[in-house]
Chains A and B, each alone.
Chain A
Amino acid sequence: MSDTYDTPDTRDMLDRTRQGVIGQPLDRPEGPLKVAGQATYAAEYARENCAEGVLVGATISTGRVTAIHKDEVLAMPGVLGVYAAPQMLRRPAQGTAGEAPLQDPSRVDYPLQPVALVVAETFEQATAAAKALRIDYDDASDKARFLPTQETAEAAKEPVTAGDLEAALRDAAHVIDANFTTPGHASAAMEPHAAVAEWDGDDLTLWGSLQMIAFNVAELADSLGIDPKHVRILSPYVGGGFGSKLGISHEAVAASLAARELGRPVRVVMSRQLVFQSIMRRSETVQRIRLGAGADGRLTAFGHEALVSNLPEESFSEPVTQASEFLYAGDNRLLGVRKSDITRLTAGSVRAPGEAVGMQALEVAMDELAIATNLDPVELRKRNLPETVPGQGTPYSSRRLVEALDAGAAAFGWDQRSPTPCARREGEWWIGMGMSSAARVNILAKAEARVTLTAQGHVVVETDHTDIGTGSYAIFGQIAAEMLGQPIDRTTVKLGDSLLPAGSGSGGSWGASSTGSAVFYACEAIRATLAQALGCSADQLILKDGQAWAEGVDARPVTDLLTEDLTRTGKIEPGELMEKVNQSTYGAFFCEVAVNAFTGETRLRRMTGAFGFGRVLNAKTARSQCIGGMVWGIGSALTEELSFDARDGHLVNHDLAEYHVPVHADIPPMEVILLEERDADASPLQSKGVGELGICGAAGAIANAIYNACGVRLRDFPMTPDKLLADLPDPFAPAA
Chain B
Amino acid sequence: MKAFDYSRAEATADAVGQSARLIAGGTNLLDLMKLEVETPEALLDITRIGLNAIDAEGEGLRIGALVSNSDAAADPRIRRDWPLLSRAILAGASPQLRNKATMGGNLCQRTRCGYFMDNRSACNKREPGSGCAAIGGVNRNHAILGASSDCIATYPGDMAVALSALQAVVHTERPEGAREIPMRHFHRLPGDTPQQDNHLESGEVITAISLPAPLGGRQIYRKVRDRASYAFALVSVAAALRMEEGRIASVHLAFGGVAHTPWTNDHVDELLTGERPSPALFDKAADLLLEDAQGQGHNDFKIPLLRRALAAVLAEATGE
Contact = CB atoms under 8 A, between A and B. Distances in A.
Interface in A116-149: 124, 127-128, 131
A726 B315 CA distance: 20
Interface in B129-168: 133, 136-138, 140
A643 B305 CA distance: 21
- Interface hub of B2, B133, B138, B225 (most chain A Cβ within 10 A): B138
Contact of A731 (B120, B227, B308): B308
Contact of B229 (A601, A665, A718): A665
Contacts of A725: 301, 304-305, 308
Nearest to A601: B224
Given A599-B305, A725-B301, A731-B308, A666 B229 contact: yes
Interface in B1-22: 1-3
B138 A666 contact: no
Contacts of B315: 732
B245 interface: no
B229 A722 contact: no
B36 to A, nearest CB: 6
B279 A732 contact: yes
Nearest to A123: B1
B26 interface: no
| Size class of the contact patch on chain A | 35 or more
B317 to A, nearest CB: 13
* B interface SS class: loop
B231 interface: yes
Interface stretch (A220-228, A520-528, A652-660): A652-660
A663 B115 CA distance: 25
A720 B305 CA distance: 12
B312 A59 contact: no
A650 B316 CA distance: 42
A652 B312 CA distance: 32
B114 interface: yes
Contacts of A732: 279, 311, 315
Contacts of A599: 222, 224, 305, 308-309, 312
B230 A663 contact: yes
Nearest to A598: B312
A127 B224 contact: no
Contacts of B136: 647
B276 to A, nearest CB: 15
Given A128-B2, A665-B228, A653 B308 contact: no
A419 interface: no
A722 B224 contact: no
B144 to A, nearest CB: 12
Contact of A721 (B35, B229, B305, B316): B305
A660 B138 contact: no
Contacts of B312: 428, 596, 598-599, 731
B226 interface: yes
A124 B140 CA distance: 34
Given A59-B120, A643-B138, A603 B228 contact: yes
Interface string B218-249: 00001011111111001000000000000000
B311 A639 contact: no
B121 to A, nearest CB: 8
Interface string A299-338: 0000000000000000000000000000000000000000
A663 B229 contact: yes
A483 interface: no
Interface string A598-628: 1111010000000000000000000000000
Contacts of A31: none
B112 interface: yes
Among B2, B112, B228, residue most surrounded by chain A Cβ atoms (within 10 Å): B228
A645 B304 CA distance: 25
Nearest to B313: A598
Given A657-B112, A660-B226, A128 B138 contact: no
A111 to B, nearest CB: 8
B234 A721 contact: yes
Interface string B112-133: 1011001010000000000001
Contacts of B226: 638-639, 660, 718, 720-721
A639 B227 contact: yes
B5 to A, nearest CB: 15
Contacts of A638: 226-227
Contacts of B316: 428
A22 B116 CA distance: 54
A726 B230 CA distance: 26
Contacts of A127: 1
Interface string A496-530: 00000000000000000000000000000000000
A643 B36 CA distance: 22
Given A643-B140, A647-B136, A731-B308, A128 B227 contact: no
Interface string A694-723: 000000000000000000000000101110
Interface in B291-315: 301, 304-305, 308-309, 311-312, 315
Interface in A76-132: 124, 127-128, 131
Nearest to B35: A273
A606 B216 CA distance: 37
Contacts of A722: 140, 234, 301, 305
A184 to B, nearest CB: 13
Contacts of A652: 114-115, 118, 137-138
Top 5 nearest A-B pairs by Cβ distance?
A722-B301, A598-B312, A665-B228, A665-B229, A652-B114
Given A128-B3, A722-B305, 7 more contacts: A124-B1, A599-B305, A599-B312, A638-B227, A645-B133, A652-B138, A731-B308
Interface of B: 1-3, 35-36, 112, 114-115, 118, 120, 133, 136-138, 140, 222, 224-231, 234, 279, 301, 304-305, 308-309, 311-312, 315-316
18 contacts: A59-B120, A131-B2, A428-B312, A428-B316, A599-B305, A638-B226, A639-B227, A643-B138, A647-B136, A650-B120, A652-B118, A652-B138, A653-B138, A657-B230, A660-B231, A663-B227, A663-B230, A721-B226
